[in-house]
A and B are shown apart, each in its own frame.
Chain A
Amino acid sequence: MKKKDKVVVGLATCGIAAGGVEVMDEIARELKKRRLDVELDETGCIGCCFAEVLVDFEKEGMPRVTYGDVRPEDVPALVESHLVNGKILKEKVLLIEGRKTTEADFLKKQTRIVLGNCGILDPEDIEDYMGIGGYEGLRKALSGMTPEQVRKEVLDSGLRGRGGAGFPTGAKWNFCARAEGEDKYIVCNADEGDPGAFMDRSVLEGDPHAVLEGMIIAGYAIGATHGYIYCRAEYPLAVKRLKMAIRDATGKGFLGSDILGSGYSLDIIIKEGAGAFVCGEETALIASIEGVRGMPRPRPPFPANKGIWGMPTNINNVETLANVPWIIREGAGKFARLGTKGSKGTKVFCLTGKVRRGGLAEVAMGTTLREVIFGVGGGIKNDRPFKAVQIGGPSGGCLPAELLDTPVDYDSLPAAGAIMGSGGMVIVDDTTCMVDLAKYFLTFTQMESCGKCTPCRIGTKRMLEILTRICEGKGEPEDIERLEKLAVDIKDGSLCALGGTAPNPVLTTLRYFKDEYEAHIFDKRCPAGLCSELVTFHIDPEKCNGCTVCARNCPTGAITGEKKEPHGIDQEKCIKCRECLRRCRFDAVYTV
């Protein structure tokens, strides 16, 4: 039988946000209009967020082509060219299977285990997943391996937790397996709250069965009787697809009682979190599942011994669990061959900020920052100079250009003052002020502090106040010392890792960009020209050709000038909204 031609639209949250649903509707209309017998499908996110909406065309006799930046109005031309005339529409091409395109590096330089199926499978169809060996890992574990053997396999693979702390997963499972309790819980942590992190969402939306399969294998390995997926309510699509996945997996006998006739039973409940960052912390997550305010408690006792309702509980991150079926299927040895001595396998990073190709990058552990940012990400937007990368979200650190050759792994990053964290990478160029960046992350942690312990609740507030006054040009010479002292005491004194890591962005920017702090404090100058209290806006008469764009867009009418004559800014009226700087196409507006 001839394979049907196929069009697949990326409909993860990112695709939908970019207008994917409208594109999908338009394609359906166009296919109907032209009476084309073509299968129209949806898939998850392949990670090329920089080029949403993504549409794949598979036509007999042609290579598979991914078109990017597709808008509804592009659809008729695309369908006509590709499906009717059999010609690739060059202007819209992002990737062509097996061929080199300008953006091909984005995927070529990646090693995809966790994201392998994202953007390829239909996440709402369990048969699709089973077709590529899905649930074979579970079958293998349940039919031929004891729970100890499964734990040993994962321990031997060298897999470490992808949720932030990087604790060896096999060892964690052993603790929980050996703890005594009437019931045992396996929890999937899908609370993903770091600003700039969306890899877990993409996996849940793009390959929910992989997470589910990993979770069931983990449950079997530790002897769990119940499972919870703690997913933030802001991920409605992920929740919907997980619910479908649970239903379909139960239907196929992969979940529920007496799984695949092995005698092992597990039920899984989805618990929606209300979007508090701190609820991603294990003990707060447990409190939240139990129905009380999500506030951390000191450990020990560790969840492995006393978790949900006082019972042994094992919590793993989405990405951690998504690695498990692959490890069981392909073997620990194969996994362990990827990566470095202490960090095995791959890690998914979310490239955001001033990088040219933002999106999901899954690379082998030990890949350097340079390869990730410049190789996969394609370098900095508009060819501006790279300044720094904030790794690991608000708990992580900010590394400068000199450290671009740092390998990303669990040993090298902490040595440089950053952490792997959940894998957010915010890339900034020379227009970003590092004090302002630190302030941004601290604003987040202060807002999300649960308020339980003093160093975090009040300490981060005081640090934030100091950073704010530095940005406003009111910093005092002692402020750097104050920040350093507070940072150390907050790190040492906080109850949970939220407070324990909150000072990291400040500490690393102080370590690598102290001159910027000093410029703000002593010279009352913002080197990046960003802190509005410290900059004034000017127009270079040499460059200004009097196009009037700035004057027309200035909200306070501070810019005046005759057409075709150099313009000027009235400093009294200027509110430093940066509008003129953004609008001028002749680079005539500058800051001092």
Chain B
Amino acid sequence: MSEDMKLTIDRRKCVGRKGQTIVEVARENDIWIPTLCFDERMEPYGACRVCLVEVEGARALLPACTAEITPDMVVTTSNERIDSIRRTVIELILSDHPKDCLTCESNGSCALQDLAYRYGVKESSFGGEAHSYHLLDDNPVIERDPDKCILCGRCVRICEEIVGAGVYGFVGRGFDTTVGTPYEHPLEESPCLFCGQCISTCPVGALASKLSKGAGRPWELEETDTTCPYCGVGCTLTLWTRDNKVVNITAPLDRGVNRGNLCVKGRFGFQYIDSPERLKHPMIRGKDGRLRKTSWNKAISLVTERFSGIVEKHGADAVGGLSSARCTNEENYLFQKFMRAVVGTNNVDHCARL
């Protein structure tokens, strides 16, 4: 068991565990600390500087996302000094950021917008040069808009730390630093798996899914949690639907085995749902070789009847069962139980063994 530690955040007594950071304990206690470069899936990074907090006894402000708690720590998450820096940071980011929220894909789900709103920053008072790069549209799935990038490094880190592909890196120095692929090669020529993990972590609209472009604002869509049907891992998905059509898929950070992570199929493989070629009813092939629509009852009865016939005539071992990796463990368990107990054979296997 890890050690409990008492500390005070904004005059509130809290208890955390050794090794936790200030942000983690604050969130467990419903104390809000703004973040931009923080994503609990990755190692903390401490770059954006909006999570700076004051810790009693420390001269410098500490990033709450990287600073670990210590016994009897006293933390202040907001005061004039802190808020001044936060406001300046937001203004500085906005001074080099397009103000086209009206048409931005991330309107309504943008961490920068939320912070500007919260701190009442309408525009930057600094003015000055703003970058104007080209939109990077070099593949069917991911669109990159470097103008909107706030250089939080989340895409760089998720691709490196979680996906293991290491597609992006920082390029250049100073004001002209950017995030990009080696030698600016298109994503398709990189080790990219098109898992879209980078889109999932981008706090602004710099990375967007082309499959969901223009499909609707978060508040126009309906959210439904479900389990991904593609494999036995059973990742938790949130389907975003509009008029009963799935327009986007994300994964919640706080639930499921996947904790926000998805692979290319789970995240982007949803167009088949409305495909006209999709089988939606059971069908029985007639003597003429043609498939005809039927009811589940009739279809299952037919299967039962035929299998029973085979078992009666040739014995249970004449039947074998092959289960799918797309089923859950529970379903696979039930399947082998069915084969052994109901059909009466041990001829049961699983595609993942092939």
Q: A462: which B residues are within 8 A, CB to CB?
A: 92, 95, 126, 128
**B112 CB → nearest A CB, Å:** 11
Contact status A293-B170, CB under 8 Å = yes
- Please give the distance in Å from A456's CB to the nearest CB on chain B: 9
Our pick among A293, A447, A485, A490 for the contact of B174 (Cβ within 8 Å) is A447
Chain B 146-179: CB-based contact to A (< 8 A → 1; otherwise 0): 0000110100000000000000011011111100
Give the residue of B49, B60, B127, B172 whose beta carbon is less than 8 angstroms from that of A451.
B172
- Please classify how large the interface on chain A is, using the bins under 10, 10 to 19, 20 to 34, 35 or more: 20 to 34
Q: Does A583 contact B (CB under 8 A)?
A: no
Q: Nearest Cβ in chain A — how far from B9, in angstroms?
A: 19
Decide if A545 is an interface residue (CB 8 Å cutoff).
no
Asked if B49 and A454 sit within 8 Å, CB to CB, the answer is yes
Contacts of A297 in B (CB 8 A): 45-46, 66
- Contact stretch, chosen from B80-88, B194-202, B206-214, B278-286: B80-88
In the complex, A493 Cα to B84 Cα: how many Å? 10
User: Whole-angstrom distance between the alpha carbons of A43 and B19 in the complex?
Assistant: 54
Task: Given A459-B88, A462-B95, A465-B128, check contact A495 B49 (CB 8 Å).
Answer: yes
Specify the main secondary structure of chain B where it touches its partner.
Answer: loop
Instruction: Check B308 for interface membership: any CB of A closer than 8 A.
Output: no
Residues of A within 8 A of B127 (CB): 465
Which of A298, A300, A446, A465 has most chain B Cβ within 10 Å? A298
**Which of chain A's residues has its CB closest to B89's CB?**
A454
Which residue of A300, A446, A492 contacts B81 across the interface (Cβ within 8 Å)? A492
B67 and A300 contacting across the interface, CB-CB below 8 Å: yes
Residues of A within 8 A of B170 (CB): 293, 295, 451-452
Shortest B165–chain A CB gap in Å is 16
Instruction: Look across to chain B and name the residue whose beta carbon is closest to the beta carbon of A463.
Output: B126
B151/A482 in contact, CB under 8 A: no
User: Nearest CB to that of B93 among chain A residues?
Assistant: A454
- In the complex, the answer to whether B46 meets A461 with C-beta atoms within 8 Å is no
Question: Which residues of chain B in 92-108 are interfacial with respect to chain A, using CB atoms and an 8 Å cutoff?
Answer: 92-93, 95-96
Residues of A within 8 A of B172 (CB): 451
Is B174 within 8 A of A457, CB to CB? yes
A180 at interface, CB cutoff 8 A: no
> Is A455 at the interface (CB under 8 A from chain B)?
yes
Query: Who on chain B is nearest to A452 by CB?
Result: B47
Nearest CB to that of B96 among chain A residues? Answer: A458
Is A489 located at the chain interface by the 8 A CB criterion? yes
Q: Flag whether B312 is at the interface (Cβ < 8 A).
A: no
B48 interface residue (CB < 8 Å to A): yes
Q: Is the CB of B49 within 8 A of A494?
A: yes
Q: Quick check: is A69 within 8 A (CB to CB) of the other chain? A: no
Does A461 contact B88, Cβ atoms closer than 8 Å? no
Instruction: Give the residue name and chain of the A residue nearest to B63 (CB).
Output: A298
Q: Chain A's nearest CB lies how many Å from the CB of B123?
A: 14
| Contact B85–A492 (Cβ < 8 Å) | yes
Q: Which of A293, A448, A450, A453 contacts B49 (CB 8 A)?
A: A453
Q: Does A276 contact B (CB under 8 A)?
A: yes
- Closest Cβ of chain A: how far from B83's Cβ, in Å? 11
Which residues of A, 475-516, contact B by the 8 Å Cβ criterion? 482, 485-486, 488-490, 492-495
| Nearest-neighbor residue (CB-CB) of A459 within chain B | B92
Contact: B174 with A446, CB < 8 Å? yes
A317 within 8 A of B: no
Known contacts A298-B63, A457-B151; is-contact A451 B85 (Cβ 8 Å): no
A residues at B contact (CB < 8 Å):
276, 293, 295, 297-298, 300, 446-455, 457-462, 465, 482, 485-486, 488-490, 492-495
Chain B residues near A (Cβ < 8 Å): 45-49, 52, 60-63, 66-68, 81, 84-85, 88-89, 92-93, 95-96, 125-129, 150-151, 153, 169-170, 172-177
Query: With contacts A300-B67, A454-B49, A493-B85 known, what are 14 further pairs, Cβ within 8 A?
Result: A293-B169, A293-B170, A300-B68, A447-B173, A449-B177, A451-B170, A454-B89, A454-B93, A454-B151, A457-B174, A459-B88, A482-B126, A485-B88, A493-B49
